[in-house]
Amino acid sequence: MYSLINASIFSGWLVLALTTLLRAGGKPAGNGTAGYWSKEAGRIRRQAEQAGVSWDGKETRAIWIISLSAACGLYFLTGNLLLFGAGWLLMLVLPRVLIYDRKHRRRLETLTALTDCLRQLLARLPDQGSLARAMEMVVESDGGGENTRMLRQVLETLRLGSNVRDAIGLWQGMVRMSKFDHVAETLIQANQDGWTPAALKALEKSVEGLEGDMRAILVVAQKAAGRRRQLYMALATSWSFPLILSLMDTGQKNLYWYSLPGRFLMFAYIAVSLYVIVKGQEYLSLNVDEL
């Protein structure tokens, strides 16, 4: 009788979840469960937009399907209805983790490529004698990327008649890196001095300083990544305890699968593990927004 009730609850939940999931698909939120899925999809999309990373509805639905599949798999293995809650937690946590990781990697890649972009600009300034023309050549020679997009916007601002200080200020606002501010001020001063050898030398030293800072930042980022790996290894090790204890022969049924306290404990293990992953990502990652 208990198994029949579990199977009925499971079947009804699965049909309802899959139906509303397929109906969500980025449509405006309505009423009921379909409206819930639509609101969740919108929330994840806004979260990605605020982080400045690309994200579409297909990725959201893929995460939902993976989470539902994990919940179903855990249920079939353990018969623990509480683990359906783990599927919901995974749907909430996984997009946040992936968006944060994507934002972190993109920011580091952009800042690392910034020094190459400045080097190219510095190499063209003596021959061109014009900031706008040097930027045009960098944009034409570069294959693309975030820094090229920024340069295009700065160049467009100059073409529209803005002065160099305002255009470089726009660049500073897009980069949002305190170490870049000194380079920007030196670039503005060099433009005012007419790209003299002394001004170009000062600009080169400023870029060299930024390169040194970026090397230090990358070392810190590597150490932070190592600490996160250690945290995940410790978390994986902690899971060995319930697994090993569940295999012990006590002459009774599996403590973690069949007893009510054991089922609550397994759900708590999953919930705490997801919490540790999220907080570990926040506290052990380099805060690229405050560089």
CATH number at residue 180: 1.20.81
pLDDT on residue 37: 72
Average pLDDT over residues 7-27: 58
Q: Are residues 150 and 194 in the same domain?
A: yes
Q: pTM of whole model > 0.85?
A: no
Of 186, 210, 234, at which residue does a domain stop? 210
Count how many domains the chain has. 2
b/e per residue, 28-59, with b = 16+ CB within 10 A?
Answer: eeeeeebbebbebbbebbeebeebebebeeeb
Mean pLDDT of the chain: 79
Average pLDDT over residues 236-253: 68
Q: Are residues 117 and 197 in the same domain?
A: yes
Q: Are residues 76 and 116 in the same domain?
A: no
In a domain, 9, yes or no: yes
Q: Tell me the DSSP string of 11-27.
A: HHHHHHHHHHHHHHTTP
pLDDT on residue 5: 55
In a domain, 28, yes or no: yes
pLDDT on residue 29: 45
In a domain, 4, yes or no: yes
pLDDT tier at 169, thresholds 50, 70, 90: very high
Nearest by Cα to 117 from 130, 102, 134, 129: 134
Average pLDDT over residues 201-226: 86
Q: Are residues 121 and 192 in the same domain?
A: yes
Length, in residues, of the chain: 291
Report whether 100 contacts 55 (CB < 8 A). Answer: no
**Which domain covers residue 69, as residue numbers?**
1-81
pLDDT tier at 28, thresholds 50, 70, 90: very low
- Asked if residue 271 has pLDDT above 80, the reply is yes
- Asked if residue 204 has pLDDT above 80, the reply is yes
Of 160, 194, 210, at which residue does a domain stop? 210
In a domain, 221, yes or no: no
Where is average pLDDT lowest: 128-142, 146-160, 232-246? 232-246
pLDDT tier at 170, thresholds 50, 70, 90: very high
Report whether 147 contacts 114 (CB < 8 A). Answer: yes
pLDDT on residue 257: 66
Q: Are residues 5 and 71 in the same domain?
A: yes
In a domain, 195, yes or no: yes
**Per-residue pLDDT reduced to its tens digit, 60-89:** 888 888 888 887 777 777 777 777 777 778
Q: Tell me the DSSP string of 118-162.
A: HHHHHHHHHHH--HHHHHHHHHHHS---HHHHHHHHHHHHHHTT-
Residues 6+ apart with CB under 8 A from 206: 182, 183, 186, 187
Report whether 290 contacts 104 (CB < 8 A). Answer: no
